[in-house]
């Protein structure tokens, strides 16, 4: 397939003003006295080159500040590269920010019509899609209300429906699928799968590895505004994880010096991190509240994490996952901000996670846990394959009859022909 989008040696530079005057009087005084504002330059992107073939889905991943959003904005034509060029060989629609481009005092209907016209469609073409957009967005009762009265979920539904129904050749999405309830997220993902089946091109960013793996044919990895690699999803995710490790080691060296770095990133013992926040103890309790590392399939399990943080940290992100011996993720939950989700973070304490039912196939599993800054840029403390959980069979059904991850025992019967 020929490329539909070509990026050639693109760099984007921004100028950052320091000590900017806040009033007109202050600005005039500075000019009269010859004290001008100090400024510096910052490269959000440096010499990035890649292409996307028609009908492919490209994921773009990287930590916060890697240049993902800047790149997507340039691809959509919102700004021009400082250096290099972008060749677009088809119509591009972008969904970059929740409700971006909406006029708050206009109704939902007026906004979708305006959005279609700005995308290059005739008003007649927009009207042909109008009812489908409204139905997909589930806004029949509110479409003629000003969008300033909409909830964030309503904003998302209208923005996504508007972007995807105008039939662009390339659809660009920046992380917005992380917003909204799980039902609508699935609806969006199904629509994107249909979009891909129709031979359209999709470019997206996401912090959800499963979303990247399920949607993308290939992945571009960015780090500090530079392209690191472009390849298959597994290689790209391994590259991203390696970059996370490198950032963690760099952070450790900056905080404590090179001599202590090896003790702070403990990969050889299945533990890694700067240790600014630490998981001191991981405990597991059965349904009766008894400490255990063995449970019956289908029973409840409570996991308690005892932690300690330095005084300089005011918030944390947390992950907890269950993996089998083959390192297949069976379950994972994340908290992006402890303060927002659980309340004020103390210097020492414990987190408790209760899983009412854990229907895993009998076998050996591991509880993997991690603490991170809320930007997820590096690792404070991550444990993998350190905390074993043995799941035993609680039923009389032979284990040879079932396989997989989830423990579901079938009831078979023969239906005779009448």
Sheet holding 83-88, edge to edge: 38-53, 3-18, 83-88
Q: Are 406 and 360 in contact (CB under 8 A)?
A: yes
As a whole number of angstroms, the distance between CA 114 and CA 158 comes to 13
pTM (two decimals) = 0.78
> If you classify domain 3-238 with CATH, what class do you get?
alpha beta
Burial class (CB in 10 A: 0-12, 13-18, 19+), 180: buried
As a whole number of angstroms, the distance between CA 204 and CA 215 comes to 9
pLDDT for the residue numbered 348: 94
Lowest mean pLDDT among 191-200, 298-307, 348-357: 191-200
pLDDT for the residue numbered 39: 61
Backbone angles phi, psi at 261, to 5 degrees: -60, -40
As a whole number of angstroms, the distance between CA 194 and CA 203 comes to 15
pLDDT for the residue numbered 397: 53
As a whole number of angstroms, the distance between CA 33 and CA 55 comes to 59
Please report which confidence band the pLDDT of residue 236 belongs to, taking 50, 70 and 90 as the band edges.
very high
Question: What are the pLDDT digits (tens) for 95-151?
Answer: 886 556 688 899 999 998 988 887 778 888 889 889 999 999 899 999 999 998 988
Nearest alpha-carbon partner for 379 in 232, 255, 205, 236: 255
Please compute the mean of the pLDDT values over residues 196-224 and round it to a whole number. 90
Using the predicted structure, report yes or no on whether residue 264 has a pLDDT greater than 60. no
Using the predicted structure, report yes or no on whether residue 261 has a pLDDT greater than 50. no
User: HSE on the CB side for 336, CA within 13 Å?
Assistant: 4
pLDDT for the residue numbered 263: 42
Percent of the chain with pLDDT over 90: 50
DSSP track, 306-353? EEEE-TT----EEEEEEEETT--EEEEEEES-HHHHH-PPPSEEEEEE
Please compute the mean of the pLDDT values over residues 382-396 and round it to a whole number. 87
To the nearest 10°, the Cα dihedral for 87, 90, 91, 92?
Answer: -50
Question: What are the pLDDT digits (tens) for 67-95?
Answer: 999 999 999 888 899 999 999 988 888 88
pLDDT for the residue numbered 278: 95
For the chain, the residue count is 418
Distance of CA 214 to the CA centre of its chain: 13
pLDDT for the residue numbered 304: 97
pLDDT for the residue numbered 95: 80
Nearest alpha-carbon partner for 76 in 92, 60, 58: 92
Please report which confidence band the pLDDT of residue 384 belongs to, taking 50, 70 and 90 as the band edges.
very high
270 membership: H or E segment, kind and range:
none
pLDDT for the residue numbered 387: 95
271-305 CB burial, b ≥16 within 10 A, e <16:
bbbbbbbbbeebebbbeeeeebeebbbbbebbbeb
Q: Are 265 and 246 in contact (CB under 8 A)?
A: no
To the nearest 10°, the Cα dihedral for 163, 164, 169, 170?
Answer: 70
pLDDT for the residue numbered 252: 85
Question: What are the pLDDT digits (tens) for 272-310?
Answer: 999 999 999 999 999 999 999 999 999 999 999 999 998
Please report which confidence band the pLDDT of residue 2 belongs to, taking 50, 70 and 90 as the band edges.
confident
As a whole number of angstroms, the distance between CA 211 and CA 61 comes to 11
Which of the 8 DSSP states describes residue 191?
H
Using the predicted structure, report yes or no on whether residue 7 has a pLDDT greater than 90. yes
Using the predicted structure, report yes or no on whether residue 414 has a pLDDT greater than 60. yes
Which part of the chain has CATH 2.70.50.60?
A: 257-401
Using the predicted structure, report yes or no on whether residue 269 has a pLDDT greater than 90. no
Please report which confidence band the pLDDT of residue 166 belongs to, taking 50, 70 and 90 as the band edges.
confident
Using the predicted structure, report yes or no on whether residue 339 has a pLDDT greater than 50. yes
pLDDT for the residue numbered 283: 96
pLDDT for the residue numbered 80: 93
Backbone angles phi, psi at 208, to 5 degrees: -95, 105
Which part of the chain has CATH 3.40.50.300?
A: 3-238
Burial class (CB in 10 A: 0-12, 13-18, 19+), 93: buried
> If you classify domain 257-401 with CATH, what class do you get?
mainly beta
Lowest mean pLDDT among 158-162, 190-194, 391-395: 391-395
pLDDT for the residue numbered 262: 42
3-state secondary structure of 246: helix
Please report which confidence band the pLDDT of residue 164 belongs to, taking 50, 70 and 90 as the band edges.
confident
């Amino acid at each position: 397939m020929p490329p539909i989008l070509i990026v050639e040696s693109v760099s984007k530079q921004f100028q950052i003003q320091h000590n900017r005057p806040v009033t007109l009087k202050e600005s005039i005084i500075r000019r009269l006295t010859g004290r001008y504002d100090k400024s510096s330059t910052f490269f959000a992107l440096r010499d990035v080159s890649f292409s996307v073939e028609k009908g492919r889905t490209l994921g773009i991943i990287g930590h916060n500040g890697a240049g993902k959003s800047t790149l997507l904005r340039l691809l959509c034509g919102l700004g021009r590269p400082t250096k290099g060029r972008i060749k677009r060989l088809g119509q591009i629609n972008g969904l970059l920010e929740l409700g971006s481009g909406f006029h708050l005092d206009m109704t939902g209907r007026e906004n979708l019509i305006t959005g279609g016209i700005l995308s290059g469609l005739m008003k007649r073409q927009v009207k042909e899609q109008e009812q489908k957009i409204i139905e997909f967005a589930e806004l029949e009762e509110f479409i003629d209300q000003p969008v300033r009265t909409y909830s964030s979920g309503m904003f998302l539904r209208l923005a996504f429906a508007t972007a995807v129904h105008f039939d662009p050749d390339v659809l660009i999405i920046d992380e917005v699928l992380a917003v909204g309830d799980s039902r609508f997220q699935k609806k969006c993902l199904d629509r994107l799968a249909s979009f891909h089946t129709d031979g359209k091109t999709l470019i997206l960013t996401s912090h959800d590895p499963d979303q990247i793996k399920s949607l993308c044919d290939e992945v571009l990895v960015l780090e500090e505004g530079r392209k690191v690699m472009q390849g298959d999803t597994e290689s790209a995710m391994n590259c991203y994880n390696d970059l996370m490790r490198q950032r963690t080691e760099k952070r450790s060296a900056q905080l404590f010096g090179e001599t202590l770095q090896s003790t702070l990133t403990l990969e050889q013992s299945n533990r890694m991190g700067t240790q600014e926040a630490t998981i001191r103890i991981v405990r597991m309790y059965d349904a009766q509240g008894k400490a255990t590392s063995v449970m019956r399939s289908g029973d409840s399990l409570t996991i308690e994490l005892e932690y300690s943080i330095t005084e300089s940290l005011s918030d944390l992100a947390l992950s907890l996952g269950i993996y089998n011996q083959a390192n297949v993720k069976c379950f994972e939950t994340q908290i992006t901000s402890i303060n927002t989700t659980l309340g004020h973070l103390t210097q020492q304490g414990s987190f408790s996670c209760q899983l009412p039912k854990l229907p895993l196939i009998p076998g050996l599993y591991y509880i993997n846990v991690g603490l991170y800054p809320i930007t997820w840029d590096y690792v404070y403390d991550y444990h993998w394959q350190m905390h074993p959980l043995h799941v035993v069979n609680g039923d009389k059904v032979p284990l040879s009859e079932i396989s997989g991850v989830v423990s579901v025992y079938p009831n078979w019967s023969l239906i005779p022909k009448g």
